[in-house]
Copies of this chain bind each other. A is one copy, B any other.
Amino acid sequence: MTLPVTAQATAPQILARCRDLVRPAFTQAVQRLHPWPAEMAAFSLGWSNVGGRLVPGSHGKGVRQALTVLCAEAAGAPGEDAVVGAVAVELIHTFTLLHDDIMDGDETRRQRATVWKAYGTGPAVLAGDALFALAVETLANARTVHSGAAVRHLAGTLNDLVRGQAEDLLFESRPWTGPGAVRPDEYRSMAEHKTGALLGCAAGLGAVLAGAPTSTVNALAQAGRHLGVAFQVVDDLLGIWGDPQVTGKPVHSDLRRLKKTYPVLAALATDGPAAGRLAALLTSDHPLDDTAARRAAELIEDAGGRSATLTEAHHHIDSARDCLTSIPLAPTAVGEILTLLQFLVDRRM
């Protein structure tokens, strides 16, 4: 007897289906902006070049919009019901990238100039504000009885996002060692606010727009927050050990920039001999050259920073899975969310 084969969608297929579902409303929303911020938004999204000429091809994975659609489906509604939330979440995500790049002084993103670098700081501030305003308006004017609840859900997220970015910026001026050093648990709190809040919002909004009960909204939002922290620490691993061909960033880029990421902070917190040598290297008062950055990466690994980060990522993925099994949900959608979880934590490693 032959068992029937269930054709299970792959992560790229799931992401593509959600992008196709959300794209028309997303494009229409951006077109409602004043032409100038609209051009900057399209540039930031990879849709066009400076001057507004359209760029064909792929435009990012769209993890957040997919999570919103899949969580609505998991809560028993058609994905279409969540499109307005998916659009709002992508608008907020783009707004945070635009403003964070200004605050961090980052000149490139995804191998292109950042918006402030291409258009100037003032215009980039304006474009971010425009996207923020559009996200709020999109949800507030959504033609659904859940519009008010959706706005409240987003509003709670926004404050967490700002809090996370404030914490991240303040980390930069703190020392590597001693009582003022950034502890791994402080980093976790920052990541929960900054990356966790937006993915939690993406997931929760899907459930809210599906009209799900509070317990379902909370469980899905919590799963999203765990996914966000996992996503962040995997990013940190890629910033040190990622393949430059795949990440689009130079090798050891986060180390050269002396960025306080989880692997470094976890390594320093072990307080052993490798941590001591790492601290000496990081506090030597000049930027790390090729040799020093390679040495720092080795010391982080020796001190256990790399494995601690992997453990942290897996802990959050497991917690996200627990959230998804804690309540009754549509099994196909949950299967797709789990496929996505695995894909995101395994990406480019």
Bound-complex Cα distance A167 to B165 (A): 29
A185 at the interface (CB under 8 A from B): no
**A158 contact from B122, B133, B169, B170, Cβ within 8 A:** B133
Size of the chain A interface, CB-CB below 8 angstroms: 42
A169 CB to nearest chain B CB (Å): 7
Contact between chains at B133 and A155 (CB < 8 Å)? yes
**Given that A102-B122, A125-B125 are contacting pairs, would A155 and B169 also be in contact in the complex, using a CB cutoff of 8 Å?**
no
B140 touches A151 (CB 8 A): yes
Q: How does the 8 Å CB contact mask read for A141-183 relative to B, with 1 for contact and 0 for none?
A: 1000001100110111011011101110110000000000000
Main secondary structure of the interface of A (DSSP, over half): helix
Chain A, residues 106-139, CB within 8 Å of chain B (1/0): the string is 0000000000000001110110111011101100
Q: Determine whether the beta carbon of A129 is less than 8 Å from that of B126.
A: no
Q: Chain B: which residue is nearest A32 at the CB level?
A: B159
Beyond A34-B166, A151-B151, 19 extra complex contacts between A and B, CB < 8 Å: A32-B159, A36-B166, A99-B125, A103-B123, A103-B125, A126-B165, A126-B166, A130-B159, A132-B158, A133-B158, A133-B159, A133-B162, A136-B151, A136-B154, A137-B155, A137-B159, A140-B152, A141-B155, A148-B148
